[in-house]
Structure 1
Amino acid sequence: MGTWDIGPFDNDTAADFSYTVDEAGAGKKADVLRAAFREVTGTGDDYLDADLSVEAVAAAALVAAQCPGGEPVTTSYGPKEPLGVLPVELRAEAVAALDRVLAEPSELLELWEESDGEEWKAGIRRLRAVLAGTGA
């Protein structure tokens, strides 16, 4: 995975995921995000692949952008097409996915703990707080 910073879209996998979101029909974008969350939460206690985690984090950032206190996704690596208003129910699924990304066994967590782990985890926790409605 090519990664250049700690943001949700600062890697090749997330940029590719943005393209997948853009390619989904207007009424199907929420389904793409939901699928990313469910891929992660569906792993249970099994080892969680980094690529699945990266997609879920990117999807969570897109949902959080529509929450009070959420930051807009302005990076050129994010989706180019409008998402429309996303279902509020996606927020809880995003929170669950982020919780799983931060729980062992998680390849993405392991990779970040080898470098800027604390800064990256703080960013994920801020994203989770916005999604949970507990502030940033």
Structure 2
Amino acid sequence: MGTWDTGPFDNDIAADFGGDLDEAAREEREPMIRGVLARAASPADFLGISDGERAVAAAALVVAQLPDGEPACLNYGPSEPVPELPADLQMLAVDALDQVVSDWSELAEQWAEAANWRKWRQEITRLRDRLDPPIPPQEEALFEI
């Protein structure tokens, strides 16, 4: 695995995906991101490392366009602007990230053996929570009878 850190574009495959987006015509970028997310989100027997790493990068691009979104990656992500992404990609990205950390993910399997597994998992959780914020627990009202 050509990985140098836990960020969405901190591996060779995701950095190449950023380069592919830069080389693509503007109207091809959204379908490329959608295709990566759809491939990863589809239930399958196994999600390969390449599809998983691209999916994390694509999800980070969706997160970057949320209100108060931060850039996906200044160094290794796409340098060309990503067009405005449709809102339906948000839940597709959630589904893709769920598959990335599932028991059927080669990427999760590889990271489980790495020393900084927790940091990687926190990054995936952070992205997912930005896309689909957890519902805060409601305090139960106490009723006196």
Q: TM-score, normalised by structure 1?
A: 0.92
Aligned length: 134
Are positions 1:19 and 2:19 aligned together? yes
- The unaligned stretches of length 5 or more in structure 2 are 136-145
Measure, in 2, the Cα distance between the counterparts of 1:18 and 1:6: 16
| Match in the other structure for 2:143 | none
- 1:100 match: secondary structure: helix
| Match in the other structure for 1:112 | 111
Are positions 1:101 and 2:100 aligned together? yes
Measure, in 2, the Cα distance between the counterparts of 1:104 and 1:73: 26
Q: CA RMSD in A?
A: 1.5
| Match in the other structure for 1:3 | 3
Native 8 Å contact 1:22 1:80 kept in 2: yes
Shift of 1:69: 3.9
| Match in the other structure for 1:91 | 90
Call closer, same or farther: CA 1:131–1:45 in 2, change over 3 Å: same
Q: TM-score, normalised by structure 2?
A: 0.86
Report percent identity of matched pairs. Answer: 46
| Match in the other structure for 1:38 | 38
- 1:27 match: secondary structure: helix
Shift of 1:31: 0.6
| Match in the other structure for 2:80 | 81
Measure, in 2, the Cα distance between the counterparts of 1:67 and 1:7: 18
Measure, in 1, the Cα distance between the counterparts of 2:63 and 2:35: 16
Measure, in 1, the Cα distance between the counterparts of 2:73 and 2:57: 12
| Match in the other structure for 2:126 | 126
Native 8 Å contact 2:36 2:54 kept in 1: yes
Measure, in 2, the Cα distance between the counterparts of 1:21 and 1:69: 23
Measure, in 1, the Cα distance between the counterparts of 2:24 and 2:119: 32
Bigger Cα Rg: 2
Per-residue Cα deviation, 1:3-34 (whole angstroms, up to 9, x for no partner) = 11000010100110001111221122111110
Per-residue Cα deviation, 1:23-68 (whole angstroms, up to 9, x for no partner) = 22112211111000111122x2411101100000000001100112
Native 8 Å contact 2:41 2:93 kept in 1: no
Native 8 Å contact 2:49 2:107 kept in 1: yes
Native 8 Å contact 1:69 1:130 kept in 2: no
Measure, in 2, the Cα distance between the counterparts of 1:36 and 1:133: 22
